[in-house]
Each structure stands twice: as C-alpha cells, then as structure tokens.
Amino acid sequence: MRTLCASTLIGEFFVIGFAGLVAMKDDTLSTTMVWTVCGIAMLLSVLLCGMLTRPGGIQLGWVLQIALIVSGFVVPMMFFLGALFTALWWASVHYGRLIDEAKARWAAQAESRAQAEAP
C-alpha cells in the first residue's frame, strides 16, 4: 500500500505546484499567500510519503484529498484534478491493502512449505 499511496502523493506534489503557478495569475491573490498555501500543501504531500505506515497517515492523506478538491474554488480545474487524485488515493489505499494481504498470505504459505520440507 505504501508504494501506491506514495506515488499518488508525489503526483499531487507536482499538481499542487502547477496549480500555484496558475493561481498566481489571479490579481486578487498575493504571491506570498499563494506560495505559502501551496508550499504547505506540497510539504505535507512529501511528508505524508514517510508517514503512511504510521497511525493517522492515511487519514491525513484523505484530508489532503479534500483540500485539493476545495482548492477548486481558487483554481477551477482543481475540482477535476482533486476528484481525480481522490479516486487515485482511494484506489491506492484499497488495492494496496489487498496487495499487502496477498503478500502476507504468500509469505505464510512459503514459510509453511519450508517447514514441511525441513527434516
């Protein structure tokens, strides 16, 4: 699960940066505000890559997904991209858990075979 989720978060890192570039074209937003918000979101996406296996890591990922969708009020294309990355996040969590369970089953089967073959 960690690999799939981390890949999604790194993709979001770049999308957030590009959204910041688009948001800078809005005359009502200051450059400082845009890059402070984008910088925090980008930092969070990178830090979450290392926190995925810790308690609350996946939940913080969901918070980031909601923030991406809400950022559509500033950059309208982010409604679409936020929804897309939310779907990717769900798939990463869902299928990542299935893969982890399958790996654990395979490891247990290999260990039981090794014990059965041992003298």
Quote the Cα angle for 37-24-61, to 5°.
30
Quickly count helices (H) and strands (E) in the chain: 4, 0
Q: What is the pTM of this model?
A: 0.85
Which of 71, 66, 72, 64 is closest to 42 using CA atoms?
64
Confidence tier at 118 by pLDDT (50, 70, 90):
confident
User: What tens digit of pLDDT does each residue of 28-75 get?
Assistant: 999 999 999 999 999 999 999 999 989 999 999 999 999 999 999 999
The answer for residues whose C-beta is within 8 angstroms of residue 86's C-beta and 6 or more apart is 65, 66, 68, 69
Find the range with the poorest average confidence among 16-25, 29-38, 54-63, 110-119. Answer: 110-119
